[in-house]
Structure 1
Amino acid sequence: MDFFPFLAALFLIIAATWLISFRRRKSLPPGPTPLPIIGNMLQLGSHPLETYTKLSKKYGSLMSIHQGSLYTVVVSSPEMAKEILLKYGQGISGRGTVQAMEACGHKESSMSFIPMGDDWRDMRKICKEHMFSSQCLERSQQLRNQKLQQLLGYVQKCAEEGRAVNINEASFITTVNLMSATLFSMQATEFDSSATMEFKEIMEGYGILLRVPNYADYFPILRPFDLQGVKRLAEVNIGRLLGLIEGYINERIRIRRENPNVPKKDDFLDVIVDSLQAKDNKLTATQFNHLVLTLFTGGVETSTTMLEWIMQELVSHPDKMAKVEAELKSVMGDEKVVDESKIPKLQYMQAVVKESFRLHPPVPLVTRKAESDQVVNGYLIPKDTQVLVNAWGMGRDSRIWKNPLSFEPERFLDQKIDFKGHDFELIPFRSGRRVCPGLPLANRILHTMPATLVHNFDWKLERPDASDDEAKGVRRAVPLKVIPYKKA
């Protein structure tokens, strides 16, 4: 049998495939040469945020990275971030999902991942009008003040007993209660409670699922096998959280049914029940469950992480702490809880929050996915490309910030840069069409909670030699523990 025609045809197919791939690769943004199969995964190492930042200095603000089968473009400048998130916001508007988020149908129902169609717009509208509008937040402010009073009571107890406060734990409990007060008009957790610690474990398990490297995310052929058990664990954690939320909604429906004349609580839970019972209802109960899960977990994770970093930076910089204390004494006087209406007067406190966001953005990589082929700055970004805006790297770029590794809130006193999505050198809450809807509430929490703690107590590190223990990423490697002292 003559194999020559077969071999010749095979050679031509391979050559044509290589040539097409080569030409396509030439039109892609520049980047390090990928290895077969694994791409650039070995080059990224254990601290990809640092690696992205270093590589961008060589290859530019629009850079190609191959992670297994996942082609990624990394954006590393405010100018290019603005192009991607605003100018190309429609074509690069998708959200790639890690395998963990496929659990319990979360990918198909969550506002974070579904396409920007009618359901997505309805969810955003409900959040904007019935959850995070100024009027809604004003109505629930007293409930949040009560939770801050509970936090002060707990810290006072620690001060009297001479024991340190685990800031991560205290921030978690208070943030959960602030969120549940705003959403459900109820308290979900308590200090020094075993049930609270169990709930914290569930929430932390959810957060870990988003951060743990899962090879199935880079090699889709592995997804059906779930070799690392990530999706199985996600089914458990997400399932438990959805069960709690569904229980809250069903209980409110039961109360309404059994007591038709009972006064409404005028909270987000009532909005959900009203919508479900309306004849023109567009969103399903399942979608509402996943919407609340998205708002709750996102709000708690972001606020808990940032509150710990804000306190870390202040305790580590006594001169900055003294400026915050002086400002609070001037604005608040003898008031114990920092009122949300006073935030605009706390200029230095606002600068502290911004500087903490710059150094420790809770969302270090703003993630998007190309919905169709896009040509940006002369380079092709193919459909289904994962696009990462490196907010962490931009916050530490000496070309953008003077002394970028130093904690200097003063840099924001003479600048009008804010973190609300319009200034692309500082986008901790993302920007464009998918900007975080909970930003107005987070803005209140992240100013009032640390300000209230600093206003009422002096603080000292439990271990004077403790470093910032940064895990080269979002969260501290070791929880921050500080000892409170009642102010003289």
Structure 2
Amino acid sequence: MASLPLHLLLFLPLLAAVSYHWLNRAASRWRGGDARLPPSPWALPVIGHLHHLAGALPHRAMRDLAARHGPLMLLRLGGLPVVVASSADAAREVMRARDLDFATRPVTRMVRLVIPAGAEGIIFAPYGEGWRQIRKICTVELLSARRVQSFRPIREEEAGRLLRAVASAPPPRAVNLSELLSVYAADSSVRAIIGSRFKDRDTFLVMLERGLKLFAKMSLPDLFPSSRLAMLVSRMPGRMQRQRQESVAFMDAIVREHEESRVADDGKEDLLDVLLRIQREGDLQVPLTADNIKSAVGDLFAGGSETAATSLQWTMAELMRTPRVMRKVQDEVWQALAGRPTVTEDDLGDLRYMRLVIKESLRLHPPVPLLLPRECRNTCRVLGFDVPVGTIVFVNAWAIARDPNYWEKPEEFVPERFENSKVDFKGTDFEYLPFGAGRRMCPGMVFGLVHLELALAGLLYHFDWEMPSGMKAADLDMTEEMGVTTRRLHDLRLVPVVRVPVPVE
């Protein structure tokens, strides 16, 4: 969804000549005779509505377009038909009333270079028996409340390492909290998945960051899927193939390292153990291949580490910008844990206001603002409009969560708005969808939230926080950077002041 580089735009006239007849046929198919399509902005030849997205992050540009053209809007991005749902009613239609019609994921030409057909894991698995099987494995075996609870010692150990790393900074030096939170989320997730930290964690984080940016881009071959010329002039295929080679080599090393280091009779299963056990038992309608397992583990790595780290950074940034809320949540934490040497998961149940802070942060900064795209499997009607089969559908959860029709003072950070509200993120309240809803709702919600809560409570209990010298809270840069998730553009650097000493290891 990023704007196209200038040197690629120079090829558009040539693409116009090559793609003219194909685009005419495609447009005719989308119109479908008497079909009543959703409204659209004005379009340009060949590139369609891409110019409306130039210079802005997609979720913001789409919100502004929806304000003029309605809560269900049709865009043509090159040769790609896209429908954007930007209201709670539209989201409810897509993810509840018509959930089955929108239950599969689009796989673009570039994604297919990284994830071959039949090797999908959790995120990109097409709707069908294979997806239902892996989803059941996730909910029953991998990410159930019981399984997540079994990893509590790991989370508490890694939270302790995070706090010691913060405390080790010589005062009054600022710490790079973004970097420390990424390491915490990665190490904690990876230990749950493969039983130990892996040696090349820093390599993994670099590869993850690059991959998230690559997967978020719509390149020429994706925008013009029938054009051979688009493949020839684009550099993206080469980048994607290199990403696949690195990912395969990395996952092979992880599985090898896991098999060499496991103690057969320790009685504890990590998530990779569970997948390998299910594969050995073989009691499945669709066989679980080694490639499926590697893809699933990769999805767990990315989802488990990236969303928790990103959400923690935004939450701490919002607290720094809102001193009233920071004082209130720290008072709650200090009163609830007074005299304790450190925070454990047993303490989290008493931190009611802190949970409201997290909910409000997820409202303003959903980790995946457009959620993950869906694809229309059957032509159907949404809000009275026809959505043709094959159309890609985005739900703009970011725009819905800032819509003044549902939220008072929607741009302000006010955790109290949830105090007497039943609105929650479990997929039943369509004005608030940080984890999605329906069949393709994020299965790792519980896994991610407990990482977020434990780390945040520890950071608030053990430290006061100040801006670096010469900066005011109002100076804190909240600019976003678009990948699959919406990260902060600049690292969050804050000065910790020890209030409750962190126990030594």
AA matched with 1:87 = A
Shift of the 228–302 alpha-carbon distance from structure 1 to 2, 3 Å rule, reads farther
Q: 2 CA distance for matches of 1:49 and 1:350?
A: 26
Deviation for aligned residue 1:345: 2.4
The counterpart of 2:245, out of the listed 236, 239, 247, is 239
> Secondary structure of the equivalent of 2:74?
strand
In structure 2, C-alpha distance between the alignment counterparts of 1:483 and 1:452, rounded to whole Å: 15
**Contact 1:253 / 1:273 at 8 angstroms: preserved in 2?**
no
- The more displaced of 30-39 and 316-325 is 30-39
Relative distance call for 1:28 and 1:452 in structure 2 (3 A) is same
SS in 1 for 2:102: coil
What is the CA distance between 1:468 and its match in structure 2?
2.8
CA distance in 2, matches of 1:469, 1:226: 38
Higher mean displacement: 145-154 or 37-46 = 37-46
1:65 pairs with 2:75: yes
Q: Is 1:122 equivalent to 2:127 in the alignment?
A: no
Backbone CA RMSD of aligned residues: 2.5
- Amino acid in structure 1 at the alignment position of 2:479: E
User: Which stretch shows the higher mean deviation, 360-369 or 272-281?
Assistant: 272-281
Structure 1 residue 178: Cα displacement:
0.9
2:63 corresponds, among 49, 53, 56, to 53
Alpha-carbon spacing, 1:107–1:441, altered in 2? closer, same or farther (3 Å):
farther
Structure 2 counterparts to residues 279-428 of structure 1, below 5 A: 279-280=282-283, 282-366=287-371, 367-428=373-434
Give, as a single letter, the amino acid of the residue that structure 2 aligns with 1:272.
L
345-354 vs 264-273, which moves further: 264-273
Deviation at 1:184, TM superposition (A): 1.6
Structure-1 residue corresponding to 2:142? 131
For 2:128 and 2:32, locate their aligned partners in 1 and report how far apart those are by CA, in whole Å: 35
Kindly provide the CA deviation profile for residues 337-378 of structure 1, in whole angstroms up to 9, marking residues without a partner as x: 433343332111111111111111111112211011112222
Which runs of no fewer than 5 residues in structure 1 stay unpaired? 1-14, 190-194
Cα gap change, 1:238 to 1:309, in 2 (>3 Å): farther
Deviations 1:25-46 (A, max 9, x none): 8610112132221111112222
Q: Distance in 2 between matches of 1:198 and 1:271?
A: 25
**Within 1, Cα distance between the matches of 2:346 and 2:425?**
19
1:334 deviates by 3.0
User: Is 2:152 the partner of 1:146?
Assistant: no
TM-score scaled by length of structure 2? 0.86
**Partner residue in 2 for 1:102:** 112
Q: 1:99 to 1:174 in 2, by over 3 A?
A: farther
- Please give the alpha-carbon distance, in whole angstroms, between the structure 2 residues aligned to 1:40 and 1:380: 19
Q: Does 1:266 align with 2:269?
A: yes
Task: Name the CA distance, whole Å, in 1 between partners of 2:130 and 2:342.
Answer: 39
Paired with 2:90 and 2:217, the residues of 1 have a C-alpha distance of 28
- Separation of aligned partners in 1, 2:203 and 2:493: 20
Q: Comparing 406-415 with 278-287, which one deviates more in the overlay?
A: 278-287
TM-score between the two structures when normalised by the length of structure 1: 0.89
Deviations 1:264-307 (A, max 9, x none): 43221221222232243621111000001111112222112111
| Per-residue CA distance 1:64-113 (angstroms, 9 max, x = gap) | 11111111111111122011101101111121134442234356413222
C-alpha distance 84-37 of structure 1, shift in aligned 2 (>3 A): same
**Candidates 466, 481, 486, aligned match of 1:460:** 466
Structure 2 runs not aligned, ≥5 long: 1-23, 501-505
Secondary structure of the equivalent of 1:348? helix
Tell me the distance in 1 between the aligned counterparts of 2:106 and 2:479.
Answer: 27
CA separation of 1:99 and 1:470: change in aligned 2, threshold 3 A: farther
Q: Which moved more, 1:73-82 or 1:332-341?
A: 332-341
**1:422-461: CA deviation from partner (whole Å, max 9, x where unpaired):** 1111111111001111111111112111121111011112
Q: 1:237 to 1:334 in 2, by over 3 A?
A: farther
Structure 1 residues 379 and 247, CA gap change in structure 2 (3 angstroms): same
**Which structure has the larger Rg?**
1
Q: Look up the SS of the partner of 1:292 in the other structure.
A: helix
Q: Which residue of 1 aligns with 2:480?
A: 471
- Give the aligned partner of residue 88 of structure 1: 98
CA shift, 1:393, in A, is: 0.7
Q: In the alignment, does 2:173 pair up with 1:163? A: yes
Q: Is the 8 A contact 1:66 1:72 kept in 2?
A: yes
1:188 is displaced (CA, Å) by: 3.1
Distance 1:112 1:271 in 2: 18
TM-aligned CA deviation for residue 227 of structure 1: 3.5
Which residue type is aligned with residue 475 of structure 1?
Answer: R
Letter paired with 1:483: V
5 Å matches for 1:182-193?
182-188=192-198
What is the letter of the counterpart of residue 58 of structure 1?
R
1:486 and 2:498 matched:
yes
Q: Residue 176 in 1 paired to residue 181 in 2?
A: no
The one-letter code of the counterpart of 1:451 is A
Q: Distance in 2 between matches of 1:41 and 1:336?
A: 55
Matches of 1:125 and 1:102, distance apart in 2: 24
Residue in 2 that maps onto 1:34: 43
CA contact (8 A) 1:49 1:472 kept: no
Distance 1:329 1:97 in 2: 48
Q: 1:294 to 1:20 in 2, by over 3 A?
A: closer
Secondary structure (helix, strand or coil) at the match of 2:487 reads coil
CA contact 1:207–1:301 (8 Å) conserved in 2 = no
Residues 93-137 of structure 1 show CA distances to partners (whole Å, capped at 9, x for unaligned) of 121134442234356413222222222122112211222112112
Q: 1:17 to 1:307 in 2, by over 3 A?
A: closer
2 CA distance for matches of 1:263 and 1:483?
42
Paired AA for residue 279 in structure 2: L
Q: CA deviation at 1:175?
A: 0.3
Q: In structure 2, give the amino acid aligned to 1:31.
A: S
Q: SS state of the match for residue 412, structure 2? A: coil
What do the CA deviations read for 1:40-64 (whole angstroms, capped 9, x no partner)? 1112222232221122122221111
1:277 to 257, 263, 280: 280
